[in-house]
Amino acid sequence: MFVVPVNAGLFCNKLFICSIYSIFSAQQNREISFARYGGDYSASIFQFLDQNKLKIVDVEDDKYSIYPEIMSLSCSNNEYLQCKNAANFVVDNLDLVFKEEVINQEPIEGIFVHMRLGDLGSQFQLGMDYYESALRKVYSEIAMSDRPKISPFKKYVTSNEVDSDTVKNFAKEFDFEIYYAKKEETLKFGSRFTNKILSHGSYSWFIGALGCKNNIVYPAFYEDKTWHDPTFYEVDGWKPVYYRN
């Protein structure tokens, strides 16, 4: 049996950990319990994970452990599990545990930008130089793509601080619409876009991981800007943007 532990972190930290435990349980056809996980996030999590694909039971017995399986991912931090092996493990096995309507939504032709702002210290926030460089890369990729150009081409930006001057100024300067919604709906909506510009963190990571996989860019990690394992973003096919001169 797999018993999902109670881990620190925000919603998508927890969703990421639950995804890994769920995938292991599905692969091995074993039961899984979220009882120790707590009920505060369960409604949000099961908007994404498909309970019908899992054998869920309510057991809180600590004797059950999957550390041997977790250790096989060779994560440098076994509390958050945010490393390249774990990231690719989730992306490669979404169909085992996620709802079909989440991972197979109809793509939206356009650009979706996620800015992580409000819960970070200023030293970790990405400057406008990154978003400008990312936009140039995305437009360049679009110009070289053989995908048909679909009209209308939608452009949205969102953030955990949607009313911040940073978001408003970006939207005005680059002709983007600001997207306002709850975190779950924002995640589902943003993941559908054919071009995604990510920022740091697990929430932004899931925007990239779910849905459309055509053109996903993320910030190159510099030592003074990284607080988690930078390999978390090195998913196969994702493109780093080097934004410093």
**Structural domains in the chain plus CATH codes:** 2-99 (no CATH), 105-241 (3.40.50)
**CA-closest candidate to residue 62, choices 7, 21, 3:** 3
188 CB neighbour count, 10 Å cutoff: 20
CA distances from 87 to 11, 161, 170 (A): 16, 26, 29
Residues 6 or more apart in contact with residue 92 via CB below 8 angstroms: none
Residues 22-47: what's their mean pLDDT? 83
The number of residues making up the chain comes to 245
Strand-pair category, 239-241 with 193-197: unpaired
Mean pLDDT throughout 125-149? 83
**Residue 229 contacts residue 82 (beta carbons within 8 Å):** yes
Q: Is the pLDDT of residue 102 over 60?
A: yes
Q: Over range 62-83, report the average pLDDT.
A: 75
DSSP string, 52-112: GGS-B-----TT---HHHHHTT--S-TTT--SHHHHHHHHHTHHHHB-HHHHTPPPEEEEE
Query: Among 63-67, 97-101, 131-135, 238-242, where is mean pLDDT lowest?
Result: 63-67
Cis bond upstream, residue 152 (ω within 30): yes
Q: Secondary structure of 20-42 in the HEC alphabet?
A: HHHHHHHHCCCCEECHHHCCCCH
- What is the rounded end-to-end Cα distance, in angstroms, of the chain? 51
pLDDT in tens, 172-182: 999 999 999 99
In single-letter form, the type of residue at position 10 comes to: L
Q: Quote the pLDDT of residue 58.
A: 80
For 122, which DSSP code?
A: G
Rounded CA separation 18/64 (Å): 16
- CB of 231 within 8 A of CB of 83? yes
d(CA 218, CA 125): 13
For residue 232, the SS3 value is helix
Closest CA to 31 of 53, 1, 69, 58: 1
Average pLDDT over residues 7-36: 88
The amino acid sitting at 30 is R
In angstroms, the CA 223 to CA 221 distance is: 7
Nearest to 158 by CA among 125, 122, 189, 129: 189
Q: Report whether pLDDT(229) > 80.
A: no
Of 13-27, 30-44, 225-239, least confident by mean pLDDT is 30-44
Q: Does residue 245 register a pLDDT over 60?
A: no
Task: Note the pLDDT of residue 243.
Answer: 79
- Whether residue 79 is predicted with pLDDT greater than 90 in this model: the reply is no
